[in-house]
Structure 1
Amino acid sequence: MYIHLGGEKIVRAAELVAIFDISIEQSSKISKQFVTHATKRKDVEVIGEEEPKSIVITGQRVYYSPISSSTLKKRAHQFSDM
């Protein structure tokens, strides 16, 4: 199954590692370091023109999504219940 992250971006539900609220980037030194390292590796993608509301981590990339983390988590749980 696939999860729509915003814009034209979808990912396989099985690829999801974590979904965080964007505020985690400011409140956690470790998450800031993780995103900085991923940016250096060019593994970060900003989806759309809107202000990011969540950070989605897959095995391959880090996405800044304009969709809230709670909405994305609901979508992910819908597929895990199937």
Structure 2
Amino acid sequence: MYIHIGEDLNIRAKDIISILDKESANQSDLVEEFLNFHKERVINLSKNPFKSVIITYDKVYLSPIASGTLKKRSN
């Protein structure tokens, strides 16, 4: 099963490790450190501020789609 995460990009659901909402990502020092450490793997799909962070095995996506919407799409 594939999930549309924004900007005409679909990824396999089984490749997703975690989906974080914007507040969790902005308030956590660990998530900020993780994003800084993996900044060469971060792909920003959002032209505006991102709404969710999607972590996969090989990349980290900043998505314009809310985490709740992504959860609904995965069911």
TM-score band, normalised by shorter chain? over 0.9
Question: Which runs of structure 2 are paired with 1:35-74 in the superposition (5 Å)?
Answer: 35-39=35-39, 42-74=40-72
Instruction: Give the aligned length.
Output: 75
1:21 and 2:21 aligned: yes
Residue identity over aligned pairs, in percent, reads: 36
Structure 1 length-normalised TM = 0.85
Q: Which moved more, 1:49-58 or 1:60-69?
A: 49-58
Instruction: Say which SS state the counterpart of residue 56 (structure 1) adopts.
Output: strand
Distance 1:6 1:62 in 2: 13
Instruction: Say which SS state the counterpart of residue 38 (structure 2) adopts.
Output: helix
Match of 2:4 in 1: 4
Inter-CA distance 26–51: structure 2 relative to 1 (3 Å threshold) = closer
- Structure 1 unmatched runs, 5+: none
**Superposition deviation, residue 48 in structure 1:** 3.8
Larger radius of gyration: 1
Q: Which runs of 4+ in 1 moved over 6 A?
A: none
Structure 2 length-normalised TM = 0.92
Distance 2:33 2:4 in 1: 26
